Amino acid sequence: MTYGISTQARLVRRPAGLPSPDDFEIVTEPLPDLRPDEVRVVNDFVSVDPYMRGRMRDAPSYIPPFKLHETMTGDAVGRVVESRSTELKVGDLVTHDLGWRDVAQADEKLFRKVEPLPGLSTSLYLGPLGTTGFTAYVGLVRIAELREGDTVFVSGAAGAVGSIAGQIARIKGAARVIGSAGTPEKVAALTERFGFDAGFDYHVPDLAQRLAELTPDGLDVYFDNVGGPQLEAAVAAMRDFGRAAVCGSIADYNLQDGVPGPRNLGTLVSRRLTLRGFLITDHRDLHAAFREEMTGWLADGRIVTAETVIDGIERAPEAFLGLFTGHNTGKMLVRPRQPRVA
């Protein structure tokens, strides 16, 4: 069977504020015959992630912006269905970053062969075994220098990175792990599903007071997925020599004018705190250790995964927009429907 037609989602307008469905278009196009060294891959799952919002701006950053009227790129996992490669054969499982499409076709160098996970979904290569899990691992192990006995706070803790970060903190010996989330159901999931010691709704009137109540002896480590008021509350709760791994600031992503930084940054001096941003591309030397440890944690059930799966590649924009309105618990994924046969 030859899958010669590809359905794709493209950015057609740069959003002002919160993106809308009108900023995207869905296109279907025939694929050309394979050239030497090319493969054709039918995607099992496609990832949508908050960082993609930054790439929708035409502004300098650590990664180039998305081009208008070109298919959105991002992590995906699928199987080779046709090959003219000497490295990849039909049936091989691969990951790639060709993104929002049901069928991907490109040179073999753009695909990475991975091994099937017995009894587990291939989607794990986009979650705990992929960029998501590696981000949580780097942030805690290297950036925040997590130590046994630490008290840890994770914001956005029911999301893809946050839910993994909290679990890694417990596995690595944290004495207490606190998380924030946006609904009662997600707060309950933190303790009932992901093993946090406590959770709270970040919509409470006084974040600093609530966090202080849950960390009466202070906070050693903050894993920041959110920025804004939660960063300010974490700074207020930190002990001397506390460390924050600044992963993202989703609270600010759709604001056109940005927001001021925390009002209590003088605390960094008096308590000798460290707030450090990071990109996982600077820490590839940790990847082998991460992959070995995470594979073991998944195999023995020490890491619990959560996914929100949207069916149909044409719904990729919907899935992406759901990241900013709280529609996901854990990793947000798109599962393309069976593609059309040419």
In sequence order, the 6+-apart residues with CB closer than 8 A to the CB of 263 are 232
Residue 38 CB burial class (10 angstroms; 0-12, 13-18, ≥19): buried
| Cα separation, 331 vs 41, whole angstroms | 22
Which domains, ranges and CATH numbers included, belong to the chain?
A: 5-127+306-335 (3.90.180.10), 131-282 (3.40.50.720)
pLDDT category, 88, cuts 50, 70, 90?
very high
| Cα separation, 304 vs 302, whole angstroms | 6
88-97, 155-164, 242-251: least confidently modelled range? 242-251
pLDDT in tens, 54-66: 899 988 888 899 9
The helix/strand/coil state of 310 is: strand
For residues 61 and 108, which has the higher predicted lDDT (pLDDT)? Answer: 108
pLDDT in tens, 23-77: 999 999 999 999 999 999 999 999 999 999 989 998 888 889 999 999 999 999 9
pLDDT of residue 252: 57
Rounded to the nearest 10 degrees, how much is the dihedral formed by the CA atoms of 60, 62, 64, 65?
Answer: -70
In sequence order, the 6+-apart residues with CB closer than 8 A to the CB of 270 are none
pLDDT of residue 258: 63
CA 45 to mean position of chain CA atoms: 14
For residues 328 and 144, which has the higher predicted lDDT (pLDDT)? Answer: 144
